[in-house]
A = this chain, B = another copy of it.
Amino acid sequence: MLDAGLHLLADQNLASLGVREVTREAGLSPAAFYRHFPDLAALGVALVEESLASLHVMIRAVLAEAGDAEELIDRAVDVIERHVREHRGHVRFLARERHGGVRQVREAIDAELGRFAAEVGAALALQPVSRGWSEQDLRMLAELYVDHMVSTAAAFLEALETDPARGRRIAVTARLQLRLISLGREHWQAG
């Protein structure tokens, strides 16, 4: 039933989804829905958890890698691109509902994204480049990275669904932007 919902949300958003629509797609009777969820919002929250779980393993994969800055950037962008391709539905759902019409879902996404930022910040603190950085500075950098990742993923998705050839340009742009941010890090409080 989650799969049915996700499939329908490819061309719709959660607020416009219907109970009957979901059950029809899942091949069940309308009443069957209420055996599993009280609301459609509840189904949305369940989808958030599913989607963010896959995203979480992706982030950990990026953070776990080692190498110089240039290598890290290349791998990060590759991982994002691959993740979008392999979990297209999840990514689309997150992008669509992050600012969507259902408060519960919005808050669930934002809370989890905040936790991701905290995790990224902790990882950044371990890198030698971050010596002497305040807690606040680390946090703002982590948020910048997370926001950039989200933007990039959304751009990959849009490219995938309209003109797949444009994915290349997005990857190039994302790498350049990360390089620029990397440069800013190196000269922070030193320029």
Contact = CB atoms under 8 A, between A and B. Distances in A.
Q: This chain: how many copies in the complex?
A: 2
A144 B177 contact: yes
Contact-size category for A: 35 or more
Main secondary structure of the interface of A (DSSP, over half): helix
Interface in A9-51: 11-13, 15-16
Nearest to A10: B101
A3 B106 CA distance: 24
A24 to B, nearest CB: 18
A130 interface: no
A89 B68 CA distance: 44
B140 A176 contact: yes
